[in-house]
Amino acid sequence: MGVFASTEDPGTTGHEQVVFCQDKQSGLKAIIGIYSTALGPALGGTRFYPYASEEEALADVLDLSRGMAYKNALAGLDLGGGKAVIWGDPEQIKSEPLLRAYGRFVESLAGRYYTACDVGTYVADMDVIARETRYVTGRSVEHGGAGDSSILTAWGVFQGMRAAAEHVWGAPTLSGRRVGVAGLGKVGKYLTAHLLEDGAEVVATDVNPKALEWVRATHPQVELVDDTAALVASDIDVYAPCALGGALNDDTVPVLRAKVVAGAANNQLAHPGIEKVLADRGILYAPDYVVNAGGVIQVADEIEGFNFERAKLRATRIYNTTREILRLADDEGVPPAVAADRLAERRMAEVGRLRTIHLR
Ligand SMILES: NC(=O)c1ccc[n+]([C@@H]2O[C@H](COP(=O)([O-])OP(=O)(O)OC[C@H]3O[C@@H](n4cnc5c(N)ncnc54)[C@H](O)[C@@H]3O)[C@@H](O)[C@H]2O)c1
């Protein structure tokens, strides 16, 4: 395993293991971050991205692997948290030898880390990686994989939103509420369908004209607005960020008219402290990593041999988990994001501790 220099110090971040992998001939430079295996093997996708520097790649993998530990813990999975990054432009350097070299490094961890898709990697890449390692999920349907994870991601977001609606308005339904969906991509489209079926009014926006054409053709009742700024300032009850991270920031939060935020996008809180601003404005934020766990629940199910109904049942439980977090937040007088972290840490500590009971 090659090791390349870094100025970061994972020793201070609480990660169990950080592995630098290099294969000069194929051009592979990867970092695998394992934050915790307290609940089981670490699961998290591989991000293939042209980072500006190795420091940036390392910072991302440390951050993302920690996030996966919390997400997997709250999703009720017997899986820890990890993530990997491949440093480089996938358009330029992705190749069979590079992916297979990466697969061999994953295999060398002997099951401490399971990989899956993330930004820049796709099911077809997982099939290539799987030629070198057993520890890969998110594979194609022909290889026993679960296929498109956005189906259960959207279902889980809808469940989390129902729990938030119940907390604020007393009934677990979006019926009669006006929901603003920012981003009509893979998840946003399915979410829109669930919302309409539940009797919600949907107002939406997207930067991609094809997404707008899709919604005009399939759901003409959806109202379209020019951009996210117009959406957040409009008269909505619920805001569902389903595009990129950082949706809840110093521009959007002060003008947001919704009472509830629940959406699929990862890392919605632009900076620490913004969750407090939301709470002070009386806006209930259902933590992103809790409500968008349907996708990881789906790929995790593949490890057992994929069963859609079982995975859907698990994703449906996002309703219960969100409810529990919102109650805990009220009881402890903290924002839901803090309550979610506490609950995840509790499960990692309490269930992880059981491994100290000696079996043989
Ligand atoms: N797909 C999954 O299973 C999954 C799981 C967990 C989290 N997420 C997160 O959910 C979000 C959406 O995922 P996806 O799979 O639907 O991605 P996607 O790329 O299919 O869709 C994103 C959509 O957002 C639109 N968009 C981009 N910038 C925008 C802007 N400024 N304003 C309005 N629209 C904009 C894009 O045009 C696109 O239609 C991402 O943040 C992703 O990380 C997805």
Residues 172-190 have pLDDT tens digits of 999 999 999 999 999 999 9
- Residues written for the chain: 360
Non-local CB neighbours of 327 within 8 Å, separated by 6+ positions: 167
Instruction: Check residue 360 and give its pLDDT.
Output: 85
The pTM assigned to this predicted structure is 0.91
Q: What is the pLDDT of residue 147?
A: 81
The average pLDDT across 344-350 equals 96
- pLDDT in the model for residue 10: 56
Average pLDDT, the chain: 94
DSSP state of 12: G
Residue minimizing CA distance to atom 27 of ligand 1? 243
DSSP annotation of 335 reads -
Q: What is the pLDDT of residue 244?
A: 85
Name every residue whose Cβ is closer than 8 Å to that of residue 300 and which is 6 or more positions away in sequence: 43, 72, 75, 77, 79, 137
Residue type for position 331: D
Position 156 confidence tier, pLDDT thresholds 50, 70, 90: very high
Residue 8 predicted with pLDDT over 90: no
pLDDT at 5: 35
Q: What residue owns the CA closest to ligand 1's atom 3?
A: 150
What is the C-alpha separation between 280 and 267, in angstroms, rounded?
Answer: 20
CA distance 236 to 103: 46
pLDDT in tens, 310-326: 999 999 999 999 999 99
Per-residue pLDDT at 7: 43
Residues lining ligand 1, judged by CB closer than 6 Å? 149-150, 153, 182-188, 205-208, 211, 228, 242-244, 264-266, 292, 295
Dist. CA 153–CA 116, nearest whole Å: 15
Q: Which residues are catalytic?
A: 83
Atom in ligand 1 nearest the alpha carbon of residue 241: 11
